[in-house]
Amino acid sequence: MSVCRFCEIYERKEGIIYENELFFAQYDKFPVSPGHTEIIPIRHTISLFDLGMQEVYLQHKAIFDVKRIIENTDLNQIYKQMLREPISQSSRYFCHRAIRHKPTKPDGYNIGINEGRAAGRTIDHLHTHIIPRYVGDVEDPIGGIRNVIPGMGDYRNIKF
């Protein structure tokens, strides 16, 4: 068995919701929001910048395909199922939170990669986060991914 968590998931074929020739996807066990999915290259590779052009294409194809899956899935059922055998107490908390949200079809998405430890990567196997967003899920979503550095989301109204 592999020592890499994502390689192991692929070898065991556990919880895989999508697969193309070079990528697979699973629902994140610690969902930031209902439907949070990770798109992962089958080949063990750490960085986005190690991908070949065919992989770049299939990574993006996976994003398009996974969006469709998320939007046609009863997400409540997904988290109820995860809660039957939660991988940790922390995962249980995140899944309960996702169910409390009573998810419907997403209103938007944040799509991103934590490229490097400095950017917050915790698993050294490339993965693209697909994070569905719902109107009202946070008080003010302005700036979206700019909020990875707190306070830097809204660039329009800075007072000098």
Q: Which residues bind Zn ion (CB under 5 A)?
A: 4, 6-7, 44, 125
- Least separation in angstroms between residue 8's CB and Zn ion is 8
- Least separation in angstroms between residue 6's CB and Zn ion is 5
Give the side-chain half-sphere CA count within 13 A for 82. 28
Report which residue's Cβ sits closest to Zn ion.
Answer: 4
**Cβ closer to Zn ion: 58 or 95?**
58
CB 62 within 8 Å of CB 126: no
**Cβ closer to Zn ion: 62 or 95?**
62
**Cβ closer to Zn ion: 44 or 92?**
44
- Least separation in angstroms between residue 122's CB and Zn ion is 13
